[in-house]
Amino acid sequence: MEFNHIYQDLISGKEKLTLVGLGYVGMPIAVEFAKHVKVIGFDINEKRINEYANGIDATNEVGDAIKNTTVEFTADPTRLKESKFIIVAVPTPINDDTTPDLRPVEGASRIVGQNLTAGSIVVFESTVYPGVTEDICVPIIEKESGLKCGVDWKIGYSPERINPGDHVHTLTGICKIVSGMDEESAREIKKVYDIVIKAGTFPVSDIKTAEAVKVVENSQRDINIAFMNEIAMICDRMHIDTDEVLAGMNTKWNALGFKPGLVGGHCIGIDPYYLTNAAEKLGYHSQIILNGRKVNDSMGAFVADAAIKQMIEAGLAPKKARVVILGITFKENCPDTRNSKVVDIINRLKEYEINPVVTDDWADVEIAKHEYGVDVIPFKDIPKADCVIVAVGHNEYRSMSMMQLKDLFKAEVLDEEKVLIDVKSLYRMDELKASGMRFWRL
């Protein structure tokens, strides 16, 4: 069976392309491809499908484009039978013990298998460790479909590189890694992605290599941020401003420009565990990657402890103090709360019997409550505080003046007793000092 006609059939409108999984990754891909070919967008979340069909993009990744897209949104898996090119972009989280949770990708594989037609190419974009696509997904699809991989259908892998909330480095402007099980599938997959990827595609020799690219690139970032976080903890003990140290360091041509921070989200805080878990199965125990994870996973508690210390030094009784946290999403200007490390700050404060007030007008209130048990209230409704922790760098928080920040505190609290924790170093040092407030920043 030949597969070298799929690209041409898509371009001519003879065949359709299907996206399985319409979250922060799948939605932008579906909308972009729909500008050029016929696209079916499938997701098991009927609520999400109904929102998309009504022009509502809860991910905020495509904005108003959702209202005019030609994507055929559906929660009916049998619609996959209409397609010969299927892209799977479902989440790959971790379990509580940091082992990979492959249930979403296994479930997607079953759905694809149950609705696969002969002559199709299936491409996975979900982040996995090397071997998952061929050793776990392929057998499931073969069992459910009764079709033989390499004979009746073919498999490929192209790791997603979308950065949620980033409207500069978007899908079309990021080079795309592509791979296939053989030369024919790799060539056809590259041609299909080249339809939308203006930055170009980068073919690698096999699927396992492509899988490794994704987990390695995010592990590298995780390790670099861990180093910055360790530097921040050292500078804190030395009473040196980390931000000023890094600003000086970055004047050198070969500085990498990383900053300390809370490392959450669906990629950097998770992908390294996929790599180290696979390595451990082969008898290798990570010396660097897991230590980087240990440092980064400790930062929420470190920030909370710093807030407690600052409150005590300000003469406040932490248990009686009102703490307000600005932001709960895992990054700025994005509604994504997956693996948010702000939750670690909240949980640490609760160990001190402090129940902070949390606000974030970007976040999905229902998800925050369901996933973390956190009640997120509108910014306009937050009570006056003794301590304010600015945990996320949303533009709304970044643009606040010192007077606006002071207005968040109780009127009867003296400036020197107002405790401001600036996790992202959003505010200028000279303005913080001139404000008279007690401040701390990572």
Is residue 165 over pLDDT 90? no
Beta strands in 277-343 (DSSP E): 323-326
Is residue 169 over pLDDT 80? no
What is the average pLDDT across 393-403?
96
Is residue 237 over pLDDT 80? yes
In this prediction, residue 264 carries a pLDDT of 86
The question of whether 175 is a catalytic residue gets the answer no
Say which residues have a Cβ less than 8 Å from residue 284's Cβ, sequence separation at least 6.
none
The one catalytic residue in 235, 267, 334, 387 is 267
In this prediction, residue 157 carries a pLDDT of 98
Residue that the structure tokens 């057998």 belong to: 139
Query: Rounded to whole angstroms, how far apart are CA atoms 35 and 312?
Result: 58
What is the average pLDDT across 238-257?
95
In this prediction, residue 319 carries a pLDDT of 92
Token pair in block for residue 393: 């760098």
What DSSP string describes 147-183?
A: --BTTTEEEEE------TT-SSS-GGGS-EEEEESSH
In this prediction, residue 61 has a pLDDT band, given cuts at 50, 70 and 90, of confident
Residue that the structure tokens 């979403």 belong to: 104
Dihedral sign, CA of 328, 300, 223, 134? negative
Is residue 85 over pLDDT 80? yes
Of 48-62, 181-195, 243-257, the poorest mean pLDDT is in: 48-62
Please give the DSSP secondary-structure letter assigned to residue 374. Answer: -
The strand pairing partners of 73, in sequence order, are 41
Domains of the chain and any CATH numbers: 6-207 (3.40.50.720), 216-293 (1.10.1040.10), 298-442 (3.40.50.720)
Say which residues have a Cβ less than 8 Å from residue 376's Cβ, sequence separation at least 6.
328, 358, 359, 360, 363, 365, 368, 369
Percentage of the chain exceeding pLDDT 70: 100
331-350 residue pLDDT tens: 999 898 988 999 999 999 99
What is the average pLDDT across 228-239?
96
Q: What is the CA radius of gyration of the chain?
A: 24
Is residue 192 over pLDDT 80? yes
In this prediction, residue 62 has a pLDDT band, given cuts at 50, 70 and 90, of confident
In this prediction, residue 59 carries a pLDDT of 81
Q: Which of 226, 243, 254 is nearest to 432 (CA)?
A: 243
What is the average pLDDT across 220-227?
96
In this prediction, residue 19 carries a pLDDT of 98
In this prediction, residue 64 carries a pLDDT of 83
Percentage of the chain exceeding pLDDT 90: 89
Is residue 239 over pLDDT 90? yes
Is residue 178 over pLDDT 90? yes
In this prediction, residue 164 carries a pLDDT of 73
293-318 residue pLDDT tens: 999 999 999 999 999 999 999 999 99
What is the average pLDDT across 3-28?
94
Query: Rounded to whole angstroms, how far apart are CA atoms 264 and 337?
Result: 9
Burial of 273 (0-12, 13-18, 19+ CB in 10 A): buried
Is residue 33 over pLDDT 90? yes
- Residue 85 has φ and ψ, to the nearest 5°, of -135, 110
Mean per-residue pLDDT over the chain, rounded: 95
Query: Rounded to whole angstroms, how far apart are CA atoms 28 and 172?
Result: 10
In this prediction, residue 285 carries a pLDDT of 95
